[in-house]
């Protein structure tokens, strides 16, 4: 059933391209809502085996080379499917007003979504990689055509980084395929690769994924790309695409080469912690609202990598939860930043601070406050639940890292508050808001309200009751073979 | 042997030759007015007859017996040869249809006849496993293509391209002939099947090795591997568009299959090894170095091109480098990977040149700037071009992606202990560079606005109506590229099965 | 074999070939080229391949070289500007030559087992061409046809 997320989205993409332009957004809405519904139904269905990567479909594809069309799902992939559907639906809602070439816009957007569903559900390495690379080009067009600031540069940089990561992943996959003689993930995770091979193949594969996951020092595509992207593009990037890298690292790199992972996990933790602190520090000095959020994404993804590096159930489960959580929060932040930009045509914090947006855009301000709170890791939101789980997990393996990360969290709080203050509450002196900077149409549209509410509900639900997801994630993590026992 | 038997086995070639003469006659009888331009009716009839002849020839090939050999390998009928003769005929078929759009060429009849004769040359190349016939096929193809390249007499670049192609080509042929004579001198035979055992039984004398290398030069020239690629940019840019497409597709497919046969059947015993830590002298290290060189030079120089045809030419050099990976890997798996890749590459390039032809006709040029705003003018062409270029860049779900996966995985499997990893990594790096310049072209097509608002197409009313067929052809080609990416299994199984 | 004759012919052929490549006057170059072709024909006679030698004289010296001379005489002369000396070409040529010489020196002998006392008659050649080699013969014919059509098309004056 969950496989239909892919087909539904692909069909939606084709229809969006071919139908009259009026219908494109409705097609996209139906397709993403359908995907979200399917994801929800699958994750909360009774009697599902969340612990094992259970096959859904398995059809021979290219028998001569041992390729199968093989889809499977466990708690982790279902969680990721859900966040994909959620973000995609919100992204469509926030792009309701795209007037420029809407057919192509929704075509590319749905292609990204379909590819992401595919990545999360693939159980065949080749299929996995097909979906993984499928996401690259649509991103380029989304950013280059509908983007803003420096869009062609940002699009190209992002695409080339993605492809570079893809090339490294390609090498890793080829080595695994050629050595083990199979592409089936279920068989590959049982295969014992020679330690010498793992020692070099793991870092190649992991780094390839981590480029997309925004690992320091290969993160620079993320802020540039986020800033250049249109609202929906940033939402997809933060909500889904960065997760593809982290998910790939978890599902493929760690499970295929556990010995290599043990050799390198320290260094992953080091890079993750540097990423958390560095990105937060940089975010503190940015003046473009989207840059701030972009760097905060890198910082939050650092938590995911740190969680993976712990190699214990708590840390890794926390990492998956953080993927979900940041998917929702990041998407929400970018959506709101986009909404602000749509109305004010600026994202410069100093300019925004003169506008007193808290008065003219009450709903957006409210949503942004919530999103900021979630992003800072205030208890009650998903961010807190995820990060605390990661830190407890990391405490056992990397106590020093937890200490430094604490500093990072302070910085996150600092830059988030700064951005929030400057962009919405900059001018509190009442009537001194200058007339010409007053924003004419501040009220949020219905679509925006719906999209924002959806994401806020999600982060609240998981924040208040993390077991909702953790109960489904942890069994799957427990069966993985790279864990320290 | 009886002449009848020969006629039966050589029927496909004979049919294409006859078609060429019929087309020639049509051109002579009905053509040639004072204006020098070929009348539209003649061009249409000629193209129809040519396409029909190619189709009949392909049908004849299918009905040939499974295996037959005449004159010690001069004429070999085997599933592999038949499969690729059909593929070449199909490529020629598309070229003929797309050549319909080549409006400004005089002597359409002769042009079509030359396409058909070049096709016969390619069929001879594919259908023989004997050095003498291979050389004759090489020459027939080469000669026809030189003429086709220089065919556009109104254009100086066409003449220059033809001359360059001819000079480089005859030089390469001379090397090949010299090499062949050395090989014959040492082994006393020209049959590929007999050369292999002779090479295995004696220690390789240096002069024989020189002979082997010289033989390879002719084919490396044909596939435009660096450093024998210098003709390619000029020929691709200056030649009539359909010729450029045919050079890049049909000629390349045939060259790769013959190169593979020569290397793997004839020179198999002296292959050597190009593994990183286990270098063994032979032709493999040479090919590996040339492949690396082609990938680097092709991709790096393509970066700075402002003309789409030149860009495609340099990228062709790089793709030649990738395709060589399969031959370096060797064996049945490597050869089939090479054949798969070169086939899908050919299909892609015929299509890409088809789009270039349209743009050239509407805007009078094929520089990058002429592609600006193509999306607005013709979404169909823009979409097709996107599919072709992204397939070349190796992105799923297009055929180029699967082709690369196939090539690279066989290359990696071939060397002991992943010995060819260095080359695979280099090829992937090359793909990364190539994605950049392909995206630049797509950016121009999809983002940039057209400087001139109204393209100068009004004059060519008739041709615009006649565009229907070529445009459908492009759509078919784009569909093929997509389908071969989604279900590549059929073609792979076909190639593997044809090794018998 | 008569090694003195071999040496003489070799020197003659090589110097004629070098002259053909270097001489400025096109006609002189063409004539030197003809001399080189005659030298090659002489080799064939020396090796006992009279038929091939005769064909060489008839076709190359008699037809090709004469055609070249006629073409030069009948067409407009291009300006023979001095393009400068191509040093990279020289380097590559020398490198190729060195590689060839090295290979020839290192290779013990070219032993093709030629049966002594067997002379191939023209009749035998003709029969071989019409039986074992009939397929390549036909294809060469096709090759010449293609060349003919191509040459005509390229030189045809367009009526404008």
**d(C-alpha B97, C-alpha A75), whole Å:** 54
**Could you report the average pLDDT of every consecutive run of 10 residues in chain A (485 residues)?**
89 89 89 91 83 87 89 91 92 87 90 93 92 90 86 88 92 91 88 88 92 86 86 88 91 90 89 90 86 88 90 90 91 89 81 76 85 87 88 87 86 86 69 52 79 89 87 87 77
Collect all residues with Cβ–Cβ distance below 8 Å to A439 and sequence separation of at least 6: A343, A344, A355, A357, A360, A361
**d(C-alpha B119, C-alpha B25), whole Å:** 18
Chain A segment 87-126 residues within 8 A of B by beta carbon are: 126
pLDDT of residue B458: 42
Collect all residues with Cβ–Cβ distance below 8 Å to A409 and sequence separation of at least 6: A376, A377, A387
Collect all residues with Cβ–Cβ distance below 8 Å to A32 and sequence separation of at least 6: A9, A12, A85, A88, A89, A91, A92, A110, A113
Number of domains in chain C: 2
**d(C-alpha A298, C-alpha A279), whole Å:** 6
B137 lies within 8 A of chain C by CB: yes
Q: Tell me the per-residue pLDDT of C19-37, one tens digit each, with 9 for 90 and over.
A: 988 887 888 888 899 999 9
Which pLDDT band holds residue B336 (cuts at 50, 70, 90)? Answer: very high
Higher pLDDT, C113 or A213: A213
Q: Do B139 and C143 touch (CB under 8 A)?
A: yes
Give buried/exposed letters for A11-33 (b at 16+ CB in 10 A, else e).
Answer: bbbebbbeeeeebbbebbbbbbb
Number of C-beta neighbours around residue B160 at 10 A: 16
Are A127 and A19 spatial neighbours (Cβ–Cβ below 8 Å)? no
Angle at Cα A371 formed by Cα A367 and Cα A377, nearest 5°? Answer: 150
Domain spans of chain B? Answer: 294-500
DSSP codes joined into one string, B260-316: HHIIIIISGGG--EE-SS-EESSHHHHHHHHHHHHHHHHHHHHTT--BHHHHHHHHH
Of A186-190, A428-432, B167-171, B436-440, the poorest mean pLDDT is in A428-432
Mean pLDDT of B72-101: 89
Are B352 and B381 spatial neighbours (Cβ–Cβ below 8 Å)? no
pLDDT of residue B202: 72
Same domain, C60 and C127: no
Are B136 and B122 spatial neighbours (Cβ–Cβ below 8 Å)? no
pLDDT of residue B459: 40
Angle at Cα A228 formed by Cα A224 and Cα A234, nearest 5°? Answer: 90
3 state DSSP class of C160: coil
DSSP codes joined into one string, A422-446: HHHSS--SGGGS-GGG--S--SPPH
- What residues of A are in contact with residue B421 (Cβ under 8 Å)? 171, 175
Calculate the CA dihedral of residues B257, B262, B263, B268 and round it to 10 degrees: 130
Chain A segment 126-155 residues within 8 A of B by beta carbon are: 126, 129-131, 133-134, 136-137, 140-141, 144-145, 152
Q: Tell me the per-residue pLDDT of B198-209, one tens digit each, with 9 for 90 and over.
A: 888 777 788 888
- What residues of B are in contact with residue A174 (Cβ under 8 Å)? 405, 408-409, 412, 424
Give buried/exposed letters for A182-191 (b at 16+ CB in 10 A, else e).
Answer: bbbbbebbee
Same domain, C62 and C8: yes
**d(C-alpha A236, C-alpha C23), whole Å:** 71
pLDDT at B112 over 80: yes
- What is the distance, to the nearest Å, from the Cα of residue A62 to the centroid of all Cα atoms in its chain? 31
Angle at Cα B178 formed by Cα B255 and Cα C92, nearest 5°? Answer: 90
pLDDT of residue A181: 87
Backbone angles phi, psi at B398, to 5 degrees: -95, 165
pLDDT at B91 over 80: yes
Q: How far apart are the first and last CA of chain B?
A: 25
Same domain, C7 and C65: yes
**d(C-alpha B5, C-alpha A401), whole Å:** 82
Instruction: Answer with the one of C76, C100, C132 that is the final residue of a domain.
Output: C76
Collect all residues with Cβ–Cβ distance below 8 Å to B339 and sequence separation of at least 6: B84, B256, B257, B260, B326, B495
- What residues of B are in contact with residue A145 (Cβ under 8 Å)? 446-447
- What residues of A are in contact with residue B379 (Cβ under 8 Å)? none
pLDDT of residue A434: 53
Q: What's the ipTM? A: 0.90
User: B409, B382, B380: which is closest to B488 by C-alpha?
Assistant: B409
Q: Is residue C128 part of a domain?
A: yes
Instruction: Report how far apart, in Å, the C-alpha atoms of A273 and of each of A301, A318, A397, B105, C23 are.
Output: 10, 16, 14, 66, 75
Q: State the sign of the Cα–Cα–Cα–Cα dihedral B84, B85, B86, B91.
A: positive
Backbone angles phi, psi at A218, to 5 degrees: -105, 30
Higher pLDDT, C111 or A203: A203
List beta partners, residue A59.
A69
Mean pLDDT of B444-454: 70
User: A172, A180, A223, A159: which is closest to A201 by C-alpha?
Assistant: A172
Of A3-17, A441-455, B272-286, B477-491, the poorest mean pLDDT is in B272-286
pLDDT at B222 over 90: no
Same domain, C66 and C125: no
Number of C-beta neighbours around residue A59 at 10 A: 8
Q: Do B137 and C139 touch (CB under 8 A)?
A: yes
pLDDT of residue C152: 86
3 state DSSP class of B499: coil
pLDDT of residue B104: 59
pTM of the model: 0.91
Q: What is the DSSP letter of A62?
A: E
**d(C-alpha B493, C-alpha C1), whole Å:** 57
**d(C-alpha B273, C-alpha B416), whole Å:** 10
**d(C-alpha B412, C-alpha B421), whole Å:** 6
User: A225, A199, A200, A229: which is closest to A212 by C-alpha?
Assistant: A225
**d(C-alpha A197, C-alpha B122), whole Å:** 45
Q: Do C150 and B143 touch (CB under 8 A)?
A: yes
Which pLDDT band holds residue B188 (cuts at 50, 70, 90)? Answer: confident
Domain residue limits at C150: 120-160
pLDDT of residue B460: 43
Nearest CA to CA, how far is B300 from chain C (Å)?
A: 23
CATH number at residue C38: 1.20.120.1200
pLDDT of residue B310: 92
pLDDT at B360 over 50: yes
**d(C-alpha A16, C-alpha A114), whole Å:** 13
Q: Is residue C106 part of a domain?
A: no
Q: Name the interface residues of B facing A (CB cutoff 8 Å).
A: 390, 395-397, 401-402, 405-406, 408-409, 412-413, 418, 421, 424-425, 428-429, 431-432, 435-436, 439, 443, 446-447, 487-489, 492-493, 496
pLDDT of residue B452: 53
Collect all residues with Cβ–Cβ distance below 8 Å to C138 and sequence separation of at least 6: none
Collect all residues with Cβ–Cβ distance below 8 Å to B178 and sequence separation of at least 6: B211, B214
Place of tokens 């998917």: A327
Q: Chain C interface, mutation test: which of B21, B111, B153, B168, most C Cβ atoms within 10 Å?
A: B153
Mean pLDDT of B4-22: 91
**d(C-alpha A210, C-alpha A204), whole Å:** 10
DSSP codes joined into one string, A81-119: HHHHHHHHHHHHHHTTT--SSHHHHHHHHHHHHHHHHHH
**d(C-alpha B266, C-alpha B260), whole Å:** 9
User: B437, B335, B338, B435: which is closest to B394 by C-alpha?
Assistant: B435
Q: Is residue C102 part of a domain?
A: no
Are B96 and B112 spatial neighbours (Cβ–Cβ below 8 Å)? yes
Which pLDDT band holds residue B375 (cuts at 50, 70, 90)? Answer: confident
Are C142 and B99 spatial neighbours (Cβ–Cβ below 8 Å)? no
Q: Do B206 and C102 touch (CB under 8 A)?
A: yes
Same domain, C69 and C126: no
Are A137 and B395 spatial neighbours (Cβ–Cβ below 8 Å)? yes
**d(C-alpha B487, C-alpha B465), whole Å:** 34
Q: Is residue C33 part of a domain?
A: yes
Work out the burial of residue B388: count CB atoms within 10 Å of its CB; fewer than 13 is exposed, 13-18 middle, 19 or more buried.
buried
3 state DSSP class of B8: helix
The tokens for A198 are 């793992």
Q: Do B493 and A130 touch (CB under 8 A)?
A: no
Q: Do B205 and C107 touch (CB under 8 A)?
A: yes
Which pLDDT band holds residue B466 (cuts at 50, 70, 90)? Answer: low
Are B434 and B352 spatial neighbours (Cβ–Cβ below 8 Å)? no
C103 lies within 8 A of chain B by CB: yes
Which pLDDT band holds residue C81 (cuts at 50, 70, 90)? Answer: low
Q: What is the DSSP letter of C57?
A: I
Give buried/exposed letters for C35-53 (b at 16+ CB in 10 A, else e).
Answer: bbbbbbbbbbbeeebeebb
3 state DSSP class of A348: strand
Q: Which residue of B has its CA nearest to A161?
A: B432
Mean pLDDT of B67-85: 88
Q: What is the DSSP letter of A216?
A: T
Count of alpha carbons within 13 Å of C58, Cβ hemisphere only?
6
Collect all residues with Cβ–Cβ distance below 8 Å to A391 and sequence separation of at least 6: A318, A402, A405
pLDDT of residue C87: 82
Same domain, C7 and C68: yes
């Amino acid at each position: 059933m969950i496989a239909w997320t892919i087909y539904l989205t692909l069909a939606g993409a084709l229809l969006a391209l071919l139908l009259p332009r009026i219908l494109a957004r409705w097609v996209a809405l139906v397709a993403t809502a359908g995907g979200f519904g399917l994801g929800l139904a699958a994750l909360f269905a009774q009697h599902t085996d969340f612990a094992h990567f259970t096959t859904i479909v398995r059809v021979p594809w290219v028998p001569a080379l041992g390729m199968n069309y093989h889809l499977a799902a466990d708690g982790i992939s279902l969680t990721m499917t859900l966040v994909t559907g959620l973000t995609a639906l919100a992204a469509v809602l926030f792009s309701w007003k795209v007037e420029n070439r809407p057919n192509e816009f929704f075509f590319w957007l749905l292609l990204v979504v379909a590819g992401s569903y595919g990545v999360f559900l693939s159980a065949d390495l080749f299929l996995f990689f097909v979906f993984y690379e499928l996401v690259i080009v649509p991103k380029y067009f989304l950013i280059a055509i509908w983007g803003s600031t420096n869009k062609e540069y940002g699009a190209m940089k992002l695409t080339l980084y993605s492809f570079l990561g893809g090339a490294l992943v390609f090498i890793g996959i080829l080595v695994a395929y050629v050595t083990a003689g199979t592409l089936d993930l279920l068989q590959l995770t049982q295969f014992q690769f020679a330690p010498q091979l793992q020692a070099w193949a793991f870092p190649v594969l992991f780094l390839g994924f981590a480029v997309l996951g925004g690992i320091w020092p290969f993160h620079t595509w993320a802020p540039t790309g986020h800033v250049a992207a249109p609202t929906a593009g940033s939402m997809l990037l933060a909500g889904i695409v960065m997760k593809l890298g982290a998910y790939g690292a978890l599902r493929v790199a760690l499970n295929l080469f556990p010995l290599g992972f043990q050799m390198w996990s320290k260094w992953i933790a080091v890079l993750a912690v540097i990423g958390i602190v560095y990105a937060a520090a940089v975010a503190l000095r940015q003046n473009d609202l989207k840059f701030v959020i972009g760097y905060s994404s890198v910082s939050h993804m650092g938590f995911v990598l740190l969680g993976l590096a712990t190699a214990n159930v708590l840390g890794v489960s926390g990492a998956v939860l953080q993927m979900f959580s940041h998917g929702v929060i990041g998407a929400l932040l970018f959506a709101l930043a986009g909404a602000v930009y749509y109305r004010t045509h600026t994202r410069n914090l100093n300019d925004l601070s003169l506008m007193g947006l808290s008065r003219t855009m009450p709903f957006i301000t409210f949503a942004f406050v919530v999103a900021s709170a979630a992003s800072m890791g205030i208890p009650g939101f998903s961010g807190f639940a995820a990060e605390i789980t990661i830190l407890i997990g990391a405490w056992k393996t990397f106590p020093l890292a937890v200490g430094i990360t604490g500093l990072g969290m302070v910085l996150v709080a600092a830059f988030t508050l700064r951005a929030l203050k400057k962009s919405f509450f900059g001018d509190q002196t009442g009537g001194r808001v200058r007339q010409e900077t007053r924003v004419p149409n501040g009220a949020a549209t219905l679509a925006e309200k719906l999209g924002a509410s959806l994401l806020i509900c999600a982060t609240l639900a998981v924040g208040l009751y993390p077991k909702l997801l953790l109960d489904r994630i942890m069994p799957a993590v427990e069966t993985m073979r790279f864990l320290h026992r | 042997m009886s002449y009848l038997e020969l006629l039966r086995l050589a029927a496909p070639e004979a049919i294409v030759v006859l078609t060429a003469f019929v087309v020639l006659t049509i051109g002579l009888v009905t053509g040639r007015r004072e204006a020098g331009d070929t009348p539209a009716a003649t061009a249409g009839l000629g193209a129809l007859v040519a396409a029909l002849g190619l189709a009949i020839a392909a049908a004849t090939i299918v009905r040939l017996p499974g295996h037959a050999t005449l004159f010690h390998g001069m004429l070999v009928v085997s599933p592999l040869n038949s499969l690729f003769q059909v593929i070449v005929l199909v490529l020629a078929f598309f070229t003929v249809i797309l050549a319909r759009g080549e409006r400004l060429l005089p002597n359409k009849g002769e042009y079509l006849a030359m396409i058909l004769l070049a096709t016969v040359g390619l069929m001879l190349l594919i259908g023989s496993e004997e050095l003498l016939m291979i050389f004759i096929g090489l020459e027939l193809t080469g000669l026809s293509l030189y003429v086709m390249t220089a065919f556009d007499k109104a254009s100086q670049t066409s003449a220059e391209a033809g001359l360059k192609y001819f000079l480089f080509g005859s030089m390469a042929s001379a090397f090949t002939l010299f090499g062949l004579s050395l090989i014959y001198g040492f082994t006393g035979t020209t049959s590929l099947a007999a050369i292999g055992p002779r090479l295995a039984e004696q220690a390789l004398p240096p002069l024989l090795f020189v002979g082997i290398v010289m033989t390879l030069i002719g084919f490396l020239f044909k596939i435009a591997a660096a450093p024998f690629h210098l003709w390619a940019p000029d020929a691709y840019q200056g030649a009539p568009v359909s010729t450029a497409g045919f050079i890049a597709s049909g000629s390349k497919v045939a060259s790769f299959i013959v190169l593979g046969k020569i290397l793997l059947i004839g020179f198999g015993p002296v292959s050597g090894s190009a593994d990183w830590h286990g270098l063994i002298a032979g032709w493999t290290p040479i090919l590996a170095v040339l492949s690396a060189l082609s990938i680097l030079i092709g991709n790096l120089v393509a970066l700075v091109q402002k003309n789409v045809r030149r860009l495609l030419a340099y990228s062709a050099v790089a793709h030649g480098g990738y395709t060589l990976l399969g031959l370096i890997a060797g064996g049945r798996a490597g050869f089939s990977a090479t054949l798969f890749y070169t086939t899908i590459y050919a299909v892609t390039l015929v299509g890409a040149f088809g789009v270039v032809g349209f743009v050239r006709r509407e805007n009078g040029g094929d520089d990058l700037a002429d592609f600006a705003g193509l999306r607005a003018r013709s979404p169909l062409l823009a979409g097709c071009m996107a599919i072709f270029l992204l397939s070349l860049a190796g992105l799923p779900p297009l055929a180029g992606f699967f082709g690369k996966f196939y090539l690279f995985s066989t290359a990696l499997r071939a060397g002991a202990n992943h010995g060819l990893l260095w080359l695979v990594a280099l090829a992937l790096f090359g793909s990364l560079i190539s994605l950049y310049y392909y995206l630049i072209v797509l950016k121009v097509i999809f983002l940039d606005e057209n400087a001139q608002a109204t393209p100068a197409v009004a004059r060519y009313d008739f041709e615009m109506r006649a565009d229907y067929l070529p445009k459908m052809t492009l759509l078919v080609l784009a569909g093929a590229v997509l389908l071969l990416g989604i279900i590549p299994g059929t073609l792979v199984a076909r190639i593997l099965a044809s090794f018998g | 074999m008569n090694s003195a004759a071999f040496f003489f012919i070799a020197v003659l052929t090589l110097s004629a070939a070098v002259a053909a490549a270097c001489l400025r006057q096109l006609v002189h170059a063409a004539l030197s080229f003809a001399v080189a072709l005659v030298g090659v024909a002489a080799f064939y006679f020396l090796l006992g391949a009279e038929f091939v030698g005769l064909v060489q004289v008839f076709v190359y010296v008699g037809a090709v070289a004469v055609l070249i001379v006629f073409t030069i005489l009948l067409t407009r002369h291009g300006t023979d500007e001095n393009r400068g000396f191509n040093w990279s070409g020289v380097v590559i040529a020398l490198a190729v030559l060195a590689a060839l010489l090295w290979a020839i020196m290192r290779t013990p002998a070219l032993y093709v087992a030629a049966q002594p006392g067997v002379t191939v008659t023209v009749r035998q050649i003709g029969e071989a061409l019409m039986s074992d080699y009939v397929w390549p013969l036909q294809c060469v014919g096709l090759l010449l046809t293609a060349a003919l059509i191509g040459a005509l098309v390229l030189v045809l004056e367009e009526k404008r």
